[in-house]
Each structure stands twice: as structure tokens, then as C-alpha cells.
């Protein structure tokens, strides 16, 4: 197997270059579910509390749509899986998508793989070395989660099944990204396809879990959840992700054996010999660079909204007698349960959109580091105009994507309730998340403008805000800490009162941070290649 | 003759690296000025300071009399730049990039754009990712040369071009020169420097070590002499400025410093010159000497004094 020659040194290289990266991701992904055990234990200390939970939140279609099937919600372990498993699954999948993409196609795009391949290193060594490390990281993740849960007193069979289900999710999405990184010529394309698959897996299993369950068998997250941790803890469903991973890796290897180095599957077609009018303006230019992503996200959030919007009405049947659970979502106790669920859907979509908006803002950093800012700024383009046109796109995209998400949820709900007014109501509720999303973009701009090297810290701010909002009550974070999350500052909509003050404050703060970032960027050296 | 670029005592540090260490540089209007120096000498850094992309720590740098950091946009309307390492947007075509860069500078001459595309044999319909290094450079060159900019800042613009394209480049720059435009050309291609540059500045470790015409610089180096004399010229070794003397019967070979050539030839004549070949220093020798550590302060001082 000469095509695999050098796999081991490649694996060591991946490990060496990503040790901090893996350490951060693994720590967070192990800590989330493991620390959920004592937190939820404190929330539901007696079996009576747990039984109440099982009858209420644990069996509501809304919660099932968000979290997955509640196979064992009459046990503490089952509640942990039910409350956190869905989110952790998405995070594990994303870690694997990024881990594989950044070490394969991204490196190839930068020309670094070429340097390596010219040595006694086989064609598949980079891919194989990367997968070796990433699969190992998934095994470490699953083992650590299982061990941590056992350490907090949960049964070992269920803990092991849950840990293994996370490993399985990771392995499948790593294998999938191995393939998309071969197919797409650009790392961004590889992330986009694999990321869309993660979103689709989540939505498809939500449809399955709230229906008769068939659809869940089409989703890798569904396969993992079919292990039913803490219920009967089945192992055989893991054969499906294992088989899928083998097929996906085989397909990746096949594509890599046939394609040219540096190329994707589709040959680039010749393009226009002159620039269109749109391209000549900096906002149009930025839009053009981000076109693919924007289109994908528009479709994704709309379909996601439709899918989750369609299960909302079933939540009207939901029982609401457990004050503890209700308090999780609605401390004021004034909202209808349907609106609570719709608000939750919109919040999750807003969080995903914030991810896109932060990424879009941080494109400035990538552009600068790639040397793309230099020739433009050497023209009669001020740094202010360069940044403002690149901020305009994520700022406008935030509004547009939120509106599209609201439209999806609204249309689905309007059809189910036969009330067309649901559409504007939900679009409005979705767009109310704009200031929170902008605030994160403002933080990204500030960091980029002042110290570009620190700009990726925005991702930690976003991750912290997401965890605080979604799991703050599980972990019983102090109120002030949860309130730091911009998502918590957005009024509870639909259903709640639209209070303008926090929205205005966040919007102003976002603009101020962005302005400080722009001013910082005007004062500093441009990052240049040696 | 007005000065287009005026740099004095320029200092730029990156952390502990002192990239520019009191650099002086003067480029006059209408000249093609060669900007030479070993890798890491600070050429690109200087050009980026002149573009206002980097902020100088100390010293003066003006372009058209303006401060490149504060007047960047205004100055950039009058100049065009070709970076040393051209990185294109992977999914835009070469033609699109040329138009975008031109638009950002304030327009380009369409006829000239077409003509340059033809002369450089560049296919503008290909996407950035698929261009070779030389073709990426051509994209940046066409974008810069199709403009009416008064000043061209070219940072090793031909390092990836083939000899045919190198010839096209030299023709185009010659035309630019006859139009009276100013060029600062950083280059390692010595033939190109010799063919194009009115004056050159050589920098090393962030400092200018020499400025002048190529003739001025030649004067600082040694000429190789190979002669047949009537009598063996044994005693030449005692003359100052004569190096590597080899006397082989009546044949004598040696190198002589440019500033000692006259008196040395007079002494040689005393032995009765029968045949004589002299080789002026090649450009390679010239630059090797300036790039290396040989040049002493004393020589620099003599050179200054004799000009
Ligand atoms: N952005 C930067 N950060 C740190 N060091 C730099 C940076 N840019 C240039 N340098 C250093 O400054 C010195 C001069 O570099 P440069 O101007 O690129 O040289 P040249 O173009 O003459 O080869 C080198 O030592 C280089 O490593
Ligand atoms: Mg350079």
C-alpha cells in the first residue's frame, strides 16, 4: 500500500498542529454532558421529580423535536441524554467536520500538501493520517464522557452506550467530510456540504422522532440515538454508522485516487473575461465571494424553520403541570406552550445564523491573511470602505436569514393553525434576534480590527452564549452569567412583550464595537506575508 | 528634477526584527529605479510602507510629497502596485480581478488592457486557482500597467515569468519610461535591471548600502586584466588596489579596484604591453560584492567623495 506510505508521520503532524484545538473542543464536549449529570441531579433530586419530568417535558413532542426520543426519561441518565444529547450531537458532528476539513482540503488549498506529497508520502497519507487522529479523538471523547458519567454515579451500560453513540456520530461526520473534502475544490465548499448534512440529520431525526420514527433511521444522529442509552442500551444500531463510515471513507479514497492534486470533482469552467457591474462595487464584490454560502444558508434556515414549525401545534397537547420544567423555559409563566416552543425554535435558528454571521465577518481576517486585502488597499480604497462594505454583507444577511427562518416557521405554523397572521407574527419574532446577532458580529469586528490574531475568540463568545442560553438552567449558572448572553437579552417572542430597550441597547453596542474595530483596523499594520 | 519618492532614516520593526533600519531612498520623477538587495533585506517592507499598508516607526517616507499613511487613498489614485506574491481570489477569473483592481484604483484604459492581455498571452477567462505563479503575476501586471498611474511600484514582478514574457515586460517598461512615468522596480533579475534601470539602490539589512547609476557602481568594483608584457610584471603586487596577481612568464593576470585602474595601467605600461584584455565586472560580481559583507565603510566614503 504505497499510497498510504507516510500515514504515521502525517498523523503526528496533524496532532502537533492541532493539539490546542483538539484540547479545547474535547474539553468542552466532554464537560457539557458530564457536568450535566450533577446539575440535573440537583434539579430533579427525587424519583418523584424524575417521574413528573418523564410525564411532562420528557414526553412532549416539542421537547422530543428538539432533543430526540426520550427513551429513558424516567431515569437521571435518560434525562441527561434527553436534555443535552441533541446539542452535544450537533457539536460533536461540527467538530469532526472542521477537524477533517482543516487538515485535508484546507491544507491542500494552501499548497502545503503539495510540499508534503513531493516526499516519500503516498497519495492517501494526508487523508489517512488525519482520519486516524480524528477517529482517535472521537474514541477519546466517547470514553471520557462515559467515564465521567460513571464517575457521577450513572449506570455503566447506559454511560458506555451514550459515549459510544457520540463516538459514532463523530466518526460518521468525519468520514462524510473526508468525502466532501475530496469532491469540493475549496475547504469552504467541503464545510458547506458537510455542515448542511449535519443540519439535515438534525431536522430529519426531529421529523422522525415526532412521527412514527421511520425518518430517524435516515439520520446519523438518529442512528446514534437508537442505542437508547439508559433504557435498553442497544449496541447493534452502531453497526449502521460503522458501515456508513466505511463506505464514505472508501468513496473518499476512490475519488482521491482519480482526481488531480488540487482539483475537485467538477472541473472549473472558464468564466467571464470582464467584471460585471456588480463586482466592481465592493459590497457586490463581497457578496460574490460569499454567494454560495449565503444561498445555502438561506435554503437551510428556511427548510429548518418549516420542519420545526410543523411540529409546533402538537405541543398544544403538552401537559404543563411540572412547574420546575416550565420554569426552565418561562420564568414569568405567562406564555402559551406553543409560543414557548416556537420561541425556542427561533432561538436555535438565530444561534445558527449567528454562527454564519460571525464566520462571514471573520472572512475579513481570512482575506487579509491570504494577501487579498493588500492589492485592494493599494488602490484608492480606504480601509474604512474596505471594512464597511465587508460588514454590510453579514449585517444585512443577519436580517435576511432571520426573516427567512421566521418565514419558514411562520408558513408551517400558519398552515397548521389555518391562520395566515402567524406568518408576520413569526417573521417579526425572528427578526427581533437581529441585535443579538449583530452584537456578536460587532465583537468579531472589534477583535479583527484591533488584534486579528485574537479574532477567533469570537467563537468562544458565541459558544459561551449558546451554552448559557440553552443549558444555563440545567447547569444553574448564576443569573448574571446567563444574562451576559445576547440571546437572553432578546425579549421572549413570540408571545412575550416586545420591549425595545434591550434591542436598541444591543444594536447600539454592536455598532459601537464595530466602529471601534474599524478604527482599530485603520490604525494598525496590514498583516503581510513575509 | 522633482522627487517622487523620498525616504530618509526609515525604521520599521516587527517585534524583535528590525526590518528597516534607517533606510534612505530617493526616486526622481521619470526614472526607472532599481531596488536591489538580498532576500529579507527589506524591499517589500519599504514598498508596503510607501503604500501606507505598514506604518513606519521612525523616519520620513513621502510619495508625491504626501504621507502614505495619512493620504493613502489620494496617493493610490496616482500609483499602481504589483505585489511580490500575487494571491488571487480562487473563484474569480483573471479578467474580473483586473477590472476590480482597476476600478478600485480609479479606472483603466480598455484598449491598453486588451493590448496587454495579448502581449502577455494571458487568458482572462481562467479562474484564480488555476493560474500558475507566472500567470498570476501577469494578472497583477496587466492590472497595473493598463492604468495611467504616474508611479509604478513593482515588487519582484517578473520572478515567475518565462524569458519570452520577460522580454515583453522589458519592452512595456521601456514604453512606460518614454511616457515619462516613474517606476520603482525591485528585482533579482540582473539583466532586467541593467536593461531598464536609470539608477539603482542596493539595500542590505534594512539600510541603503549604495545608490547610483550602474556606471557609478561598477566603479566600486574590480576589473579583471589579462595582459602579455615585454618583461615579467612581477612588481605589480606592491601596488595598492591590485588583487590576485598571477604572473606566468610574460603573461600577467590580476583584478584591480575601479578607482585604481588608471594608475595601475600606467605602471603596467612600463613593462611594455603587447596584448591586453580587460573584463569589466559582471553584474553578478557587482551584486555579490554589495550583497555580501565585503564593502567597507572606507570604500563607501571614497565612492561618495569621488562622485
Ligand atoms: N509581517 C511581518 N512580520 C514579521 N516580520 C516581517 C514581516 N514582514 C517582513 N518581516 C521581516 O522583515 C525583514 C524584511 O522583509 P522583506 O521586506 O519582505 O524583505 P525582502 O522583500 O527584501 O526580501 C525580513 O527579515 C522579514 O522576515
Ligand atoms: Mg520581498
| Distance from C-alpha of A495 to C-alpha of A488, rounded to nearest angstrom | 15
Cell numbers at residue A160, please?
A: 458506555
Residues with CB under 6 A from ligand 1: A 528, 530; B 14, 17, 19, 37, 39-45
Cell numbers at residue B126, please?
A: 481562467
B73 touches chain A (CB under 8 A): yes
A260 touches chain B (CB under 8 A): no
Question: How far does the centroid of ligand 1 lie from the alpha carbon of residue B36, in Å?
Answer: 14
Question: How far does the centroid of ligand 1 lie from the alpha carbon of residue B17, in Å?
Answer: 8
Rounded to 10 deg, the angle between the A291-309 and A383-417 helix axes is 20
> Which chain B residues are within 8 Å of A383, Cβ to Cβ?
72
Q: Are the beta carbons of B258 and B220 closer than 8 angstroms? A: yes
> Which chain A residues are within 8 Å of B130, Cβ to Cβ?
268
Length, in residues, of chain B: 307
Out of B76, B123, B126, the one facing A380 most closely (by C-beta) is B76
Helical H segments across A152-279, by residue range? 156-183, 187-210, 220-225, 239-258
| Distance from C-alpha of A292 to C-alpha of B14, rounded to nearest angstrom | 37
Question: What confidence tens digit (pLDDT) does each residue in A53-89 have?
Answer: 888 777 777 778 888 888 899 999 999 999 889 889 9
pLDDT of residue B304: 46
CB A280 to CB B87 under 8 A? no
Q: Return mean pLDDT, chain A.
A: 90
Out of B91, B100, B126, the one facing A270 most closely (by C-beta) is B126
Cell numbers at residue A24, please?
A: 479545547
Residue A522, pLDDT above cutoff 60: yes
pLDDT of residue A322: 47
Chain A 307-336, CB below 8 Å of chain B: which residues? none
pLDDT of residue B249: 87
| Distance from C-alpha of A60 to C-alpha of A69, rounded to nearest angstrom | 10
Question: How far does the centroid of ligand 1 lie from the alpha carbon of residue B45, in Å?
Answer: 6
Per-residue exposure over A417-445, b if at least 16 CB sit within 10 Å of its own CB, e if not: eeeeebbebbbebbbbbbbbbbbbbbbbb
pLDDT of residue B244: 84
pLDDT (average), residues B5-27: 95
Min Cα distance B127 → chain A (Å) is 7
| Distance from C-alpha of A350 to C-alpha of A304, rounded to nearest angstrom | 11
Ligand nearest to the CA of B19: 1
Provide the residue ranges of all domains of chain B, joining segments of one domain with +. Answer: 3-217, 221-305
CA angle A408, A410, A414 (to 5 degrees): 125
Q: Residue B63 forms beta bridges with which residues?
A: B5, B66
Residue A316, pLDDT above cutoff 60: no
Question: How far does the centroid of ligand 1 lie from the alpha carbon of residue B12, in Å?
Answer: 10
Residue B99, sorted as left (phi over 0), alpha (psi -120 to 50) or beta, turns out to be alpha
pLDDT (average), residues A30-51: 90
Q: Considering only CA atoms, which residue is closest to atom 4 of ligand 1?
A: B14
Residue A326, pLDDT above cutoff 60: no
Q: Which of A374-388, A443-457, A465-479, B89-103 has the lowest mean pLDDT?
A: A465-479
CB B54 to CB A528 under 8 A? yes
Residue B135, pLDDT above cutoff 90: yes
Ligand 1 atom closest to the CA of B37, numbered from 1: 22
pLDDT of residue A27: 95
β-pair type (B199-204, B207-212): antiparallel
| Distance from C-alpha of A483 to C-alpha of A481, rounded to nearest angstrom | 5
pLDDT of residue A335: 60
Question: How far does the centroid of ligand 2 lie from the alpha carbon of residue A178, in Å?
Answer: 37
Q: Are the beta carbons of A177 and A245 closer than 8 angstroms? A: no
pLDDT of residue A5: 82
pLDDT (average), residues A379-400: 96
pLDDT of residue A319: 39
- Residue % of chain B over a pLDDT of 70: 92
CB A528 to CB B55 under 8 A? no
A504 touches chain B (CB under 8 A): no
pLDDT of residue A19: 93
Question: What confidence tens digit (pLDDT) does each residue in A217-253 have?
Answer: 999 999 999 999 999 989 999 999 999 999 999 999 9
| Distance from C-alpha of B273 to C-alpha of B266, rounded to nearest angstrom | 10
pLDDT (average), residues A156-169: 97
Which residue did the predictor score with more confidence, A66 or A375? A375
pLDDT (average), residues A180-189: 91
Q: Which of A218-227, A338-347, A348-357, B92-101 has the lowest mean pLDDT?
A: A338-347
pLDDT of residue A235: 93
Min Cα distance A529 → chain B (Å) is 8
Which pTM does this prediction carry?
Answer: 0.83
pLDDT of residue A334: 56
Residue B115, pLDDT above cutoff 90: yes
pLDDT of residue A168: 97
B106 touches chain A (CB under 8 A): yes
Out of B83, B95, B96, the one facing A371 most closely (by C-beta) is B83
Q: Any idea what DSSP says for residue B66?
A: B
Which residue of chain B has the CA closest to A279? Answer: B100
Which residue of chain A has the CA closest to B110? Answer: A274
CB B104 to CB A109 under 8 A? no
Was domain B221-305 assigned CATH 3.30.70?
Answer: yes
pLDDT (average), residues A400-428: 93
pLDDT of residue A94: 95
pLDDT of residue A97: 97
How many cross-chain Cβ pairs, A to B, lie less than 8 Å apart? 114
Q: Which fold has domain B3-217?
A: Rossmann fold (3.40.50)
Cell numbers at residue A385, please?
A: 470602505
pLDDT of residue A318: 46
- Residue % of chain A over a pLDDT of 70: 95
Residue B293, pLDDT above cutoff 60: no
| Distance from C-alpha of B249 to C-alpha of B227, rounded to nearest angstrom | 11
**Contacts (Cβ under 8 Å, ≥6 apart) of A449:** A387, A516, A517, A518, A519, A520, A521, A524
Q: Which of A402-406, A466-470, A505-509 has the lowest mean pLDDT?
A: A466-470
Q: Are the beta carbons of B11 and B21 closer than 8 angstroms? A: yes
Out of A272, A377, A378, the one facing B96 most closely (by C-beta) is A272
Q: Which of A385-389, B271-275, B291-295, B303-307 has the lowest mean pLDDT?
A: B303-307
Q: Are the beta carbons of A85 and A225 closer than 8 angstroms? A: yes
pLDDT (average), residues B142-147: 93
CB B76 to CB A374 under 8 A? no
Q: Return mean pLDDT, chain B.
A: 88
Residue A273, pLDDT above cutoff 80: yes
pLDDT (average), residues A153-175: 97
pLDDT of residue B69: 94
Cα separation values, A326 from A61, A320, A336, A481, B26, Å: 15, 7, 11, 21, 76
> Which chain A residues are within 8 Å of B55, Cβ to Cβ?
523-525
pLDDT of residue A323: 52
Residue A489, sorted as left (phi over 0), alpha (psi -120 to 50) or beta, turns out to be alpha
Q: Are the beta carbons of A458 and A447 closer than 8 angstroms? A: yes
- Residue % of chain B over a pLDDT of 90: 55
pLDDT of residue A315: 57
Q: Considering only CA atoms, which residue is closest to atom 12 of ligand 1?
A: B19
CB B48 to CB A528 under 8 A? yes
CA angle B188, B189, B194 (to 5 degrees): 115
pLDDT of residue B306: 47
Residue B105, pLDDT above cutoff 90: no
Q: Considering only CA atoms, which residue is closest to atom 25 of ligand 1?
A: B40
> Which chain B residues are within 8 Å of A286, Cβ to Cβ?
none
CB A272 to CB B55 under 8 A? no
B90 touches chain A (CB under 8 A): yes
Out of A271, A282, A381, the one facing B93 most closely (by C-beta) is A271
Question: How far does the centroid of ligand 2 lie from the alpha carbon of residue B291, in Å?
Answer: 15
**Contacts (Cβ under 8 Å, ≥6 apart) of B266:** none
Residue A374, sorted as left (phi over 0), alpha (psi -120 to 50) or beta, turns out to be alpha
Out of A270, A289, A526, the one facing B125 most closely (by C-beta) is A270
Ligand 1 atom closest to the CA of B48, numbered from 1: 17
A108 touches chain B (CB under 8 A): no
Which residue of chain A has the CA closest to B106? Answer: A380
Which residue did the predictor score with more confidence, A331 or A9? A9
ipTM of the complex: 0.80
pLDDT (average), residues B141-161: 93
**pLDDT classification of B292: cutoffs 50, 70, 90:** low
Provide the residue ranges of all domains of chain A, joining segments of one domain with +. Answer: 16-100+139-264, 277-525
Cα separation values, A348 from A42, A207, A437, B51, Å: 26, 16, 12, 45
Ligand 1 atom closest to the CA of B45, numbered from 1: 17
**Contacts (Cβ under 8 Å, ≥6 apart) of A458:** A358, A361, A362, A440, A443, A444, A447
Amino acid at each position: 500500500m504505497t499510497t498510504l506510505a507516510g500515514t504515521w508521520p502525517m498523523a503526528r503532524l496533524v496532532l502537533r498542529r492541532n493539539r490546542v484545538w483538539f484540547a479545547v473542543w474535547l474539553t468542552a464536549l466532554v464537560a457539557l454532558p458530564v457536568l450535566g449529570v450533577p446539575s440535573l441531579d440537583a434539579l430533579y433530586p427525587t424519583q418523584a421529580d424524575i417521574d413528573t419530568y418523564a410525564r411532562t417535558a420528557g414526553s412532549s413532542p416539542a421537547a422530543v423535536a428538539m432533543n430526540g426520543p426520550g427513551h429513558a426519561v424516567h431515569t437521571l441518565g435518560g434525562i441527561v441524554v434527553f436534555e443535552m444529547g441533541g446539542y452535544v450531537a450537533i457539536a460533536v458532528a461540527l467538530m469532526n467536520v472542521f477537524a477533517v476539513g482543516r487538515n485535508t482540503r484546507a491544507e491542500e488549498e494552501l499548497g502545503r500538501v503539495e510540499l508534503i506529497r513531493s516526499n516519500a508520502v503516498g497519495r492517501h497519507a494526508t487523508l489517512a493520517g488525519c482520519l486516524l487522529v480524528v477517529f482517535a479523538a472521537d474514541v477519546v471523547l466517547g470514553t471520557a464522557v462515559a467515564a465521567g458519567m460513571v464517575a457521577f454515579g450513572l449506570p455503566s451500560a447506559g454511560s458506555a452506550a451514550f459515549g459510544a453513540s457520540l463516538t459514532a456520530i463523530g466518526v460518521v461526520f468525519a468520514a462524510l467530510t473526508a468525502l466532501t473534502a475530496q469532491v469540493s475544490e475549496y475547504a469552504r465548499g467541503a464545510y458547506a456540504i458537510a455542515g448542511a448534512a449535519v443540519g439535515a440529520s438534525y431536522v430529519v431525526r426531529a421529523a422522525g422522532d415526532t412521527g412514527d420514527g421511520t425518518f430517524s433511521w435516515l439520520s446519523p444522529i438518529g442512528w446514534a440515538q437508537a442505542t437508547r442509552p439508559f433504557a435498553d442500551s442497544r449496541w447493534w444500531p452502531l453497526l449502521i454508522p460503522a458501515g456508513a463510515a466505511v463506505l464514505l471513507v472508501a468513496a473518499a479514497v476512490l475519488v482521491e485516487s482519480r482526481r488531480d492534486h488540487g482539483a475537485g470533482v467538477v472541473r472549473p469552467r472558464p468564466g467571464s473575461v470582464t467584471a460585471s457591474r456588480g463586482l466592481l462595487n465592493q459590497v457586490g464584490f463581497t457578496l460574490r465571494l460569499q454567494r454560495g454560502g449565503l444561498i445555502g444558508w438561506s435554503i437551510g434556515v428556511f427548510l429548518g424553520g418549516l420542519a420545526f414549525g410543523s411540529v409546533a401545534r402538537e405541543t398544544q397537547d403538552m401537559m404543563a403541570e411540572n412547574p420546575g420544567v416550565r420554569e426552565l423555559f418561562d420564568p414569568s409563566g405567562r406564555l402559551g406552550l406553543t409560543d414557548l416552543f416556537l420561541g425556542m425554535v427561533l432561538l436555535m435558528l438565530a444561534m445558527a445564523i449567528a454562527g454564519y454571521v460571525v464566520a462571514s465577518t471573520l472572512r475579513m481576517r481570512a482575506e487579509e491573511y491570504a494577501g487579498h486585502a493588500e492589492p485592494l488597499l493599494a488602490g484608492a480604497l480606504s480601509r474604512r470602505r474596505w471594512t464597511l462594505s465587508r460588514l454590510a454583507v453579514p449585517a444585512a444577511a443577519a436580517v435576511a436569514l432571520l426573516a427567512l427562518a421566521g418565514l419558514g416557521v411562520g408558513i408551517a405554523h400558519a398552515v397548521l393553525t389555518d391562520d395566515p397572521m402567524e406568518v408576520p407574527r413569526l417573521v417579526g419574532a425572528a427578526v427581533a434576534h437581529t441585535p443579538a446577532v449583530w452584537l456578536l458580529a460587532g465583537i468579531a469586528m472589534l477583535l479583527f480590527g484591533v488584534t486579528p490574531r485574537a479574532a477567533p475568540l469570537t467563537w468562544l463568545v458565541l459558544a459561551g452564549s449558546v451554552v448559557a442560553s440553552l443549558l444555563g438552567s440545567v447547569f444553574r449558572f448564576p443569573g448574571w452569567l446567563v444574562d451576559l448572553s445576547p440571546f437572553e437579552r432578546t425579549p421572549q417572542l413570540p408571545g412575550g412583550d416586545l420591549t425595545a430597550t434591550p434591542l436598541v441597547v444591543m444594536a447600539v453596542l454592536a455598532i459601537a464595537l464595530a466602529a471601534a474595530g474599524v478604527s482599530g483596523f485603520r490604525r494598525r499594520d496590514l498583516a503581510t506575508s513575509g | 528634477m522633482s522627487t517622487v519618492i523620498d525616504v530618509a532614516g526609515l525604521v520599521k520593526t516587527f517585534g524583535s526584527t528590525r526590518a528597516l533600519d534607517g533606510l534612505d531612498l530617493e526616486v526622481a520623477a521619470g526614472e526607472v529605479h532599481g531596488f536591489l538587495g538580498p532576500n529579507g533585506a527589506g524591499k517589500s517592507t519599504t514598498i508596503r510602507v510607501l503604500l501606507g499598508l505598514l506604518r513606519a516607526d521612525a523616519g520620513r517616507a513621502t510619495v508625491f510629497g504626501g504621507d502614505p499613511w495619512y493620504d493613502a487613498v489620494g496617493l493610490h489614485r496616482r500609483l499602481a502596485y504589483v505585489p511580490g506574491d500575487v494571491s488571487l481570489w480562487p473563484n474569480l477569473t483573471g479578467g474580473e480581478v483586473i477590472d476590480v483592481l482597476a476600478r478600485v484604483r480609479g479606472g483603466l484604459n480598455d484598449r491598453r488592457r486588451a493590448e496587454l492581455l495579448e502581449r502577455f498571452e494571458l487568458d482572462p477567462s481562467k479562474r484564480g486557482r488555476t493560474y500558475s505563479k507566472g500567470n498570476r503575476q501577469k494578472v497583477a501586471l496587466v492590472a497595473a500597467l493598463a492604468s495611467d498611474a504616474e508611479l509604478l511600484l513593482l515588487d519582484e514582478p517578473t520572478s515567475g515569468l518565462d524569458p519570452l514574457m520577460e522580454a515583453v515586460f522589458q519592452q512595456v517598461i521601456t514604453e512606460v519610461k518614454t511616457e515619462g512615468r516613474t517606476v520603482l522596480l525591485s528585482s533579482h533579475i540582473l539583466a532586467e535591471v541593467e536593461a531598464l534601470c536609470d539608477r539603482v539602490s542596493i539595500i542590505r539589512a534594512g539600510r541603503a548600502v549604495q545608490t547610483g547609476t550602474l556606471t557609478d557602481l561598477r566603479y566600486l568594483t574590480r576589473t579583471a586584466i589579462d595582459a602579455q608584457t615585454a618583461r615579467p610584471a612581477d612588481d605589480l603586487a606592491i601596488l595598492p588596489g591590485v588583487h590576485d596577481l598571477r604572473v606566468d612568464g610574460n603573461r600577467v593576470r590580476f583584478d584591480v579596484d575601479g578607482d585604481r585602474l588608471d594608475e595601475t595601467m600606467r605602471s603596467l605600461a612600463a613593462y611594455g604591453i603587447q596584448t591586453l584584455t580587460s573584463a569589466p565586472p559582471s553584474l553578478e560580481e557587482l551584486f555579490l560584492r554589495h550583497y555580501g559583507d565585503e564593502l567597507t565603510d572606507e570604500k563607501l566614503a571614497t565612492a561618495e567623495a569621488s562622485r
